[in-house]
């Protein structure tokens, strides 16, 4: 991927970056001239991602571990001496199923990964660099955070909380740090495979733009939001869904 935005000399932390959206985001930053510090739970997958990225360092671990987020921040500072961008992409869609059947501990884990971890990492980056030098944070949310969906109650509720956290931090960290979110629709990732990998059905055929999203579609949105081209934008959620919400708005009322 090539980019019209110059990130030369800047450093980005990207979570959940061994594959899918996170890896595409990291690749977009490197293509734009940035250096990246990436993390993911899968150590082997992360090692392959770092080798593929080139100008990158990685630290395997879970964002649910507060100590891991601290070490990740320290790695970025030790290797590159600055943190200009944080992309909170790592997420879990578990527990999957009706909320009346949900294990409260698994429910709590969803909020730990999807809400608490983005806050903790933003805190670390703020204290280590952004408070004095500024920067940009993007939280990867979901198009489904604004409506009710079957079997994804924990995921949707936690992502709705992340949307509010995004706006809260945008108000608190201005003017030096911009905080925004990107909300993807259906994207061809492993996490969403259970939705799109159905041979008898094309789940995005009826979207206004006629296809499901690819990780690179989300990466371009993240790159723009963190660039100087978006320097007067904060507290905003950028919907990248191929027209899903437009389609829903025009569905006939039962």
DSSP states of 5-30 as a string?
A: S--TT-EEEEES-SSHHHHHHHHHHH
Q: Residue 137, exposed/middle/buried by CB under 10 A (0-12, 13-18, 19+)?
A: buried
**Per-residue pLDDT reduced to its tens digit, 75-134:** 999 999 999 999 999 999 999 999 999 999 999 999 999 999 999 999 999 999 999 999
CATH number, position 121: 3.40.50.720
Active site residue 155: yes
pLDDT digits (tens, 9 = 90+) for 163-172: 999 999 999 9
Is residue 6 assigned to a domain? no
Residue 213 confidence class, pLDDT cut points 50, 70, 90: confident
Reduce the DSSP state of residue 230 to 3 states and report it.
Answer: helix
Number of structural domains, the chain?
1
Within-domain flag for 2 = no
Which whole number is the average pLDDT over 202-216?
A: 81
Given a contact cutoff of 8 angstroms between Cβ atoms, the answer to whether 36 and 29 are in contact is: yes
Evaluate whether residue 241 is within a structural domain. yes
Q: Is residue 137 part of a domain?
A: yes
* CA distances from residue 134 to 60, 84, 129, 175, 219 in whole angstroms, order as listed: 27, 7, 7, 8, 22
Q: Which of 5, 80, 96, 155 is catalytic?
A: 155
User: Would residue 96 count as lying in a domain?
Assistant: yes
Q: Which helix (H) or strand (E) holds 206?
A: none
Q: Is residue 1 part of a domain?
A: no
94 CB burial (10 A radius; 0-12, 13-18, 19+): middle
Residue 3 lies in a domain: no
Print the domain residue range for 95.
Answer: 11-249
């Amino acid at each position: 991927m090539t980019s019209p935005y110059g990130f030369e000399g800047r450093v980005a932390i990207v979570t959940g970056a061994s594959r899918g959206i996170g890896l595409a985001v990291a690749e977009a930053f490197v293509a734009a001239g940035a250096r990246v510090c990436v993390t993911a739970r899968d150590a082997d997958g992360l090692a392959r991602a770092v080798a593929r990225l080139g100008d990158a360092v990685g630290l395997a671990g879970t964002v649910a571990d507060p100590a891991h987020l601290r070490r990740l921040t320290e790695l970025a500072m030790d290797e590159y001496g600055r943190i200009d961008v944080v992309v909170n992409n790592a997420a879990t869609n578990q527990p999957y199923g009706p909320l009346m059947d949900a294990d409260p501990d698994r429910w709590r884990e969803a909020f730990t990964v999807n809400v608490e971890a983005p806050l903790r990492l933003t805190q670390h980056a703020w204290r280590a660099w952004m408070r004095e030098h500024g920067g940009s944070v993007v939280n990867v949310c979901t198009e489904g955070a604004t409506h009710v969906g079957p079997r994804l109650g924990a995921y949707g509720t936690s992502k709705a909380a992340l949307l509010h956290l995004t706006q809260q931090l945008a108000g608190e960290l201005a003017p030096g740090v911009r905080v925004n979110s990107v909300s993807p629709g259906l994207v061809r990732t492993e996490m969403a495979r259970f939705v799109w990998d159905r041979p008898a059905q094309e789940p995005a055929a009826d979207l206004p733009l006629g296809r499901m999203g690819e990780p690179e579609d989300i990466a371009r949105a993240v790159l723009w939001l963190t660039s100087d081209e978006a320097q007067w934008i904060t507290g905003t959620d950028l919907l990248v869904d191929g027209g899903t919400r437009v389609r829903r708005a025009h569905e006939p009322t039962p």
